[in-house]
Amino acid sequence: MNLIELPFMKSKISLRDFPSAKARREFLEKELEINLENIAKFTFTEEQVKGRNIENLIGATHIPLGIAGPLKILNTKYQILNTYIPLATTEGALVASISRGCKAISGASGACVEVETVGITRGPVFKTAGIAHGQKIKQWIQTHIPLISQITQKTSSHLKFLKADFAIVGRNLFVRFYFDSTDAMGMNMATIATQAIVKLIEQKTQAKCITLAGNFDIDKKPSWLNFISGRGKKVWAEVILPKKVVKEVLKTTPAKIVEVVNTKTHLGSIMSGSLGFNSHFANIIAAIFAATGQDLAHVVEGSLGVTTAEALENGELYFSIYLPDLIVGTVGGGTHLPTQQEALKIMAVSDVLEYCRAVGAAVLAGELSLIASLAEGTLAKAHQKLGRKK
């Protein structure tokens, strides 16, 4: 209800009753005896975000924006793209570290990045009469894929039904629907389409939908299902670094980097029960997401992934990252806001696949630099120099 009831107030006030962000903000300033002059500064209009991005608007929170790059990326046609990476963060040393990784990669062969569309998912759960009934519903869905595809298209011309996965537990049937949402992140579109599909299934099978989202999606939570099956986009990025670049830019050796990867990101993750076998994917992804208007809660899915490294026989370093669960878009959500639009222009990406390649290459750069810092023993020194107020 968004009601406020302070001890000295005679009546409840709904924040939605205020006609504007300014009025809502002035009310808070008066009632709480505070000044919100910085929150009051923003570049978007209320019309741009009302009913789309925010409720009870009072202003905006500002995050420092840095830039890393240029970062040399090889696309699937082995064309070279030099991309700059906008990073919104309050963590000192992060942009500097990613910049060093960009320098090392661009000084070598560049980052080779591949992207695969898995699809955005929505996973309802149905109550059935029993296991046999659950199997019949599953079979009905599998034999009516063309009809389900038609239902999907009716809800959005930008959404394509891909497939369904299933799990039966007692009288519960979990279904995981996959959709290609083109350049949009697509969670809202997938939810609307799934609602229409669920209605059809209930009519045809006598199943009863318990909830539209039964955690079989699985959205905004780390999970082995997303790790193994993927969600959104799968992204692979790799680079081969000459020994000279490792020494001069990263200040260490291939052998030391390989040792840190094996002991920290692999063995250390095993010993701690981590779902991410990497050093700090979430750091880079969070900074890019904040800069470009992505749904920040999906950073938790981006934290999944694997880092690998090998010392090659010729003395060079092979270094790679794998992101099985990248949930992003270049249209919709917060991507239309003015500063986020400018950040996307900095990246110079034409669609979501190019955006994913840039994110994958940036994660590769950030991961490489941090692990090199650990290998050379300068992590604390870097944070002392760049991450603390003198």
Q: Which helix (H) or strand (E) holds 287?
A: helix 281-292
Section 367-378 average pLDDT: 94
Which residue did the predictor score with more confidence, 246 or 51?
246
Catalytic residue, from 91, 202, 259, 376: name it: 91
8 Å CB contact between 352 and 182? yes
Pair 54, 201 in one domain: no
Residue 144 among the catalytic residues: no
Q: Mean pLDDT of all residues in the chain?
A: 93
Q: Please check the confidence at residue 8 and state whether its pLDDT lies above 60.
A: no
**What is the pLDDT confidence band of residue 15, given thresholds at 50, 70 and 90?**
confident
Q: Which residue has the higher pLDDT, 10 or 154?
A: 154
282-313 burial, b for 16+ CB within 10 Å, e for fewer?
bbbbbbbbbbbbbbeebbbbbbbbbbbbbbee
Is 248 a residue whose pLDDT tops 70? yes
pLDDT > 90? residue 342: yes
Q: Provide the domain count of the chain.
A: 3
Spot the catalytic one: 183, 295, 325, 367. Answer: 295
Full-model pTM: 0.93
**Does 264 share its domain with 382?**
yes
Are 364 and 281 spatial neighbours (Cβ–Cβ below 8 Å)? no
How much is the pLDDT for 385? 62
**Do 34 and 155 reside in the same domain of the chain?**
no
Q: Is the pLDDT of residue 163 over 90?
A: yes
Say yes or no to pLDDT of 19 above 80. Answer: yes
Domain boundary among 211, 240, 266: 211
pLDDT score at 2: 58
What mean pLDDT comes out for the span 76-85?
A: 80
Residue range 377-389, pLDDT digits in tens: 876 565 556 655 6
Active site residue 383: yes
Q: What is the pLDDT of residue 51?
A: 85
| Residue 195 and residue 263 in one domain | no
Residue 354 counted as domain residue = yes
Kindly tell me if the per-residue pLDDT of 338 is higher than 90: yes
| Domain contains 157 | yes
Question: Rounded mean pLDDT of 262-285?
Answer: 97
pLDDT tens per residue across span 98-153: 999 999 999 998 999 999 999 999 999 999 999 999 999 999 999 999 999 999 99
Q: If you average pLDDT over residues 239-252, what whole number do you get?
A: 97
**296-307: average pLDDT:** 98
Domain shared by 176 and 261, yes or no: no
Higher pLDDT, 76 or 345: 345
pLDDT band of residue 1 (cuts 50, 70, 90) is: very low
In a domain, 282, yes or no: yes
Confirm whether 224 is domain-assigned: no
Residue-number span of the structural domain to which 47 is assigned: 16-62
Our CA angle for 320, 326, 328, nearest 5°, is 130
User: For 215-219, which contacts have Cβ atoms below 8 Å and span 24 or more sequence positions?
Assistant: 215/123, 216/123, 216/124, 216/125, 216/167, 216/174, 216/175, 216/176, 217/121, 217/122, 217/123, 217/176, 218/121, 218/123, 219/121, 219/122, 219/187
One-letter amino acid at 363 equals V
By DSSP bridging, strand 111-122 and strand 65-74 are: parallel
pLDDT, mean of residues 156-167: 97
Given a contact cutoff of 8 angstroms between Cβ atoms, the answer to whether 165 and 106 are in contact is: no
**Least confident among 73-87, 176-190, 196-210, 315-329:** 73-87
Q: What is the structure's pLDDT at 112?
A: 96
Q: Is residue 278 over pLDDT 90?
A: yes
Task: Judge whether 303 lies within some domain.
Answer: yes
> Is there a domain that residue 102 lies in?
yes
Q: CA 284 → CA 23, 121, 326, distances in Å?
A: 37, 24, 12
Cα distances (Å, whole numbers) of residue 330 to 121, 206, 227, 333:
18, 39, 23, 9
* Mean pLDDT computed over 44-54: 92
Please check the confidence at residue 177 and state whether its pLDDT lies above 80: yes
Domain assignment of residue 217, yes or no: no
The predicted pLDDT at position 143 comes to: 98
382 found inside a domain: yes
